[in-house]
C-alpha cells in the first residue's frame, strides 16, 4: 500500500483512495500504532545529538527511517519543528515526504481551528495536493465544529483525513469538553458531527475520513461521549499511550467495542529507544504488536 496511490487533478481532487480506507488497510497490515515524532530537547540530547536544527534533522530522519513501512501511521508534532522557524518547517516537509515515499501514512499534528474563511487557508496549506502534504491533520473544533467545514470538505476531495479533538488526554481538557449546551456536551457534539460526516462511508461499510481524538487516558469519561453514535465508521486517534500512562489494558477499558477503529498514538516512550535505527524500529513493532486487538 502506498500513502498516495492514484492520479490527481490540479487541485488534488484525484482518485486517491479515501483516507479512512487507507487507514483501515494500514492498521490491518501493521497493527494500530501511530508512532509520534516529537523531538523534545531532552530526547534529542539523550540520543547524543545537539539541540540544533541539524540535530533535530538527524533525530527526525532516523525516526522516518525506523518507522517507514513498519507502522500504520506516523504523527510528527509540528510544534517541535516550528521551534526552529522556517528551517524547521522545511525539515517537517522533508520528514512527511520521506514517510510518503516509504508508503507510510502521516498524521501531521498541527491542531488547527479558526473562523471558516481562515480555515479555508489552513485547509489549502495542509490538505491540497503537494509532495509534502500529509495524509491527515489534527483539528481543534473550539470555534465550532462547522467552522472546520473547509478542511473537512477539502480532505474528502483530496482523499485525505482529519482528526478532530473530542476528549483530549490532558486533565485540563474536561472543563471545556464536558461543558453542556442544551444537555449535550461539547465533546459529544463533536462526536455527532463526525458521525454525520462519516455516514456515507458507514453506508459503504468503510472507515470514514473524519476521525476523532480521544485520549487513551480518559477512563470512564468516555461513556459520556456516546461513541456508539459513530458506529464502526469513525477512526479514533488515541494519544496517551506510554509516557502519559495508558497501555493496552486502558485502551480496552476506554474503547471497548470501538477498539478496532482506534489508532493508538505514542511518542516519548517509543522514541526513548533511539538513536539506533533497528532498536527504535523494534520498539515501535513491539508496541504495535502489544496493541493489536
Residues within the interface to ligand OMP (CB under 6 A): 36, 38, 77, 109, 138, 168-169, 213, 215, 239-240, 242-244, 265-268
How many angstroms separate the most distant Cα atoms in the chain?
54
User: Nearest approach, Cβ of 9 to ligand OMP (angstroms)?
Assistant: 30
Residues assigned a catalytic role: 111
Neighbouring C-beta atoms of residue 141, cutoff 10 Å: 23
User: Nearest approach, Cβ of 109 to ligand OMP (angstroms)?
Assistant: 5
> Which CB, 190 or 213, lies closer to ligand OMP?
213
User: Nearest approach, Cβ of 213 to ligand OMP (angstroms)?
Assistant: 5
Return the axis-axis angle of helices 277-291 and 248-255, rounded to nearest 10°: 40
> Which CB, 168 or 185, lies closer to ligand OMP?
168
Kindly tell me the sign of the dihedral angle through the C-alpha atoms of 82, 280, 94, 240.
negative
- In the chain, the DSSP E strands lie at 33-37, 73-76, 105-112, 136-139, 161-167, 180-181, 184-185, 210-214, 236-239, 262-266
Tell me the CA distances in angstroms from 275 to 54, 84, 99, 100, 242, one per residue in order.
15, 21, 18, 22, 18
Q: Which of 273, 272, 206 is nearest to 233 (CA)?
A: 206
3-state secondary structure of 37: strand
> Which CB, 12 or 141, lies closer to ligand OMP?
141
> Which CB, 39 or 150, lies closer to ligand OMP?
39
Residues pairing with 105 in the sheet: 73
> Which CB, 169 or 185, lies closer to ligand OMP?
169
User: Nearest approach, Cβ of 243 to ligand OMP (angstroms)?
Assistant: 4
Q: Which of 229, 230, 107, 212 is nearest to 164 (CA)?
A: 212
User: Nearest approach, Cβ of 254 to ligand OMP (angstroms)?
Assistant: 12
Residues 141 and 162 sit within 8 Å (Cβ to Cβ): no
Amino acid at each position: 500500500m502506498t500513502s498516495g496511490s492514484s492520479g490527481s487533478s490540479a487541485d488534488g481532487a484525484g482518485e486517491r483512495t479515501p483516507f479512512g480506507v487507507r487507514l483501515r488497510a494500514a492498521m490491518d497490515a501493521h497493527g494500530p500504532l501511530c508512532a509520534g515524532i516529537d523531538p523534545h530537547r531532552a530526547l534529542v540530547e539523550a540520543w547524543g545529538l545537539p539541540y540544533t536544527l541539524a540535530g533535530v534533522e538527524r533525530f527526525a530522519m532516523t525516526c522516518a527511517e525506523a518507522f517507514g513501512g513498519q507502522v500504520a501511521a506516523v504523527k510528527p508534532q509540528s510544534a517541535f519543528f516550528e521551534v526552529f522557524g522556517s528551517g524547521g518547517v522545511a525539515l517537517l516537509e522533508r520528514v512527511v515526504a520521506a514517510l510518503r515515499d516509504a508508503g507510510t501514512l502521516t498524521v501531521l499534528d498541527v491542531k488547527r481551528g479558526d473562523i471558516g474563511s481562515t480555515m479555508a487557508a489552513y485547509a489549502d496549506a495542509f490538505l491540497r495536493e503537494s509532495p509534502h502534504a500529509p495524509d491527515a491533520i489534527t483539528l481543534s473544533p473550539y470555534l465550532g465544529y462547522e467552522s472546520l467545514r473547509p478542511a473537512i470538505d477539502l480532505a474528502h476531495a483530496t482523499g485525505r483525513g482529519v482528526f478532530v479533538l473530542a476528549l483530549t488526554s490532558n486533565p485540563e481538557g474536561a472543563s471545556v469538553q464536558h461543558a453542556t449546551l442544551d444537555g449535550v456536551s461539547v465533546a459529544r457534539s463533536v462526536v455527532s458531527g463526525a458521525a454525520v460526516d462519516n455516514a456515507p462511508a458507514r453506508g459503504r461499510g468503510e472507515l470514514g475520513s473524519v476521525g476523532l481524538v480521544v485520549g487513551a487516558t480518559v477512563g470512564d469519561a468516555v461513556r459520556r461521549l456516546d461513541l456508539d453514535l459513530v458506529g464502526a465508521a469513525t477512526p479514533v486517534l488515541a494519544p496517551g499511550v506510554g509516557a502519559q500512562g495508558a497501555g493496552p489494558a486502558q485502551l480496552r477499558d476506554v474503547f471497548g467495542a470501538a477498539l478496532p477503529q482506534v489508532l493508538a498514538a505514542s511518542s516519548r516512550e517509543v522514541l526513548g529507544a533511539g538513536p539506533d535505527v533497528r532498536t527504535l524500529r523494534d520498539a515501535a513493532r513491539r508496541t504495535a504488536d502489544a496493541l493489536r486487538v
